[in-house]
Amino acid sequence: MERKKIVAANWKMNTLHAEAITLAKDILTMTRLVKEVEKIIFPPFPFINDVALLLQSETGFSTGAQNCSAYEKGAYTGEVSCAMIHSVGAEYVLIGHSERRAYFKEDAEVLVAKVHRALAQHLKVVYCFGEVLNERKAGQHQAVVKKQLQEVISQVPKEKMNQLILAYEPVWAIGTGETASPAQAQNMHAFVRQCLAELVDTETATSMPVLYGGSCNAQNAKELFACPDVDGGLIGGASLKPQEFASIVKAFQ
Ligand code: 13P
């Protein structure tokens, strides 16, 4: 079965309003013709609405939020609910990003709550996971990934599995310029599918998109995307440069 090809832009806490709009427009112009790849842009919260408006009439483009609240609504000053995110035109939300886990101490309980909120609002979830350097050096990377998958996947009802996309982001490769080799990525992505087969079923294991993230750029994207179990990328730094991001989108061709 052909899985969707996806390249997603995680802008993190970068851009001001005008820059965000220009960047989204440039990405749109430069990647519009690459119809076989779905492009998802994750701008900072304040710019989601405008980016979503820009992309709404385009096929193959979607908008997402980088985070969401674990609460539904009410007296949670500063939080942004999944319903709010959905109401401004976003279709996706990132959950489990290593920066949220490390800097904001988001643990499995919080992540599961967020996933439930997102799915209830019909948002699709890009669930991120990956090991830190010491864990890889100690040969624990598969065990760590398995645990991160198990904690969340086991809590998602089977009929909602098609609202989930996975993103393997080894923490040692994020923003470091160091990328997983195609062999390392392929091995882990194949392992992720093995975990999905155990945790859910083989149908889910073969159909769920699994993206790679971590210093993915115009130079290494082609080799990474050529791996049979890698369905695209979640791009940080390189997604702020439209030309480079477009080259990554085109790496599938
Ligand atoms: P970089 O592409 O900057 O390494 O970031 C990857 C990432 O964290 C995407 O979510």
Model confidence at 94, pLDDT cuts 50, 70, 90, reads: very high
- List the residue whose alpha carbon is closest to atom 5 of ligand 1: 236
The residues, any chain, with a CB within 8 Å of residue 113's CB and separated by 6 or more, are: 70, 71
Decide if pLDDT at 253 tops 80: no
Closest CA to 42 of 249, 250, 234, 247: 234
For 141-158, what is the mean pLDDT?
97
CA of 184 to the centre of ligand 1 (A): 17
Domains of the chain: total: 1
Residue 125 is predicted with a pLDDT of 98
Catalytic residue among 99, 131, 169, 244: 169
Average pLDDT of the chain to the nearest whole number: 97
Q: How does strand 92-95 pair with strand 61-65?
A: parallel
* pLDDT computed for residue 53 by the predictor: 98
At residue 252, the pLDDT reads 86
Task: State phi, psi for 167 to the nearest 5 degrees.
Answer: -135, 110
Residue 92 has pLDDT above 90, yes or no: yes
Name the band, by pLDDT with cuts 50, 70 and 90, for residue 1: low
Q: How many helices (H) and strands (E) does the chain have?
A: 11, 8
How many residues does the structure list for the chain?
253
How would residue 46 be classed by pLDDT, with cut points 50, 70 and 90? very high
Distance from the alpha carbon of residue 43 to the mean position of ligand 1, in angstroms: 13
Asked if 169 and 213 touch (Cβ cutoff 8 Å), the reply is yes
Q: Is the pLDDT of residue 222 over 80?
A: yes
Q: Which pLDDT belongs to residue 177?
A: 85
CATH number at residue 242: 3.20.20.70
pLDDT, average across residues 138-149: 98
Measured distance CA(40)–CA(91) in Å, rounded: 9
Torsions phi, psi of 106, nearest 5? -80, 120
Active site residue 97: yes
Of 163, 168, 208, 209, the C-alpha closest to 188 is 168
Task: Ligand 1, residue 98: give the atom nearest the CA.
Answer: 8
Please check the confidence at residue 159 and state whether its pLDDT lies above 70. Answer: yes
In 3-state terms, the chain is what percent helix, strand and coil (to 5)?
45, 15, 35
Taking the CA of residue 128 as reference, the ligand 1 atom at the shortest distance is 10
State the first-to-last Cα distance of the chain, in angstroms, to the nearest integer.
19
Q: Which residue segment(s) compose the domain that 98 sits in? A: 5-252
**Percent of residues, the chain, with pLDDT higher than 70:** 99
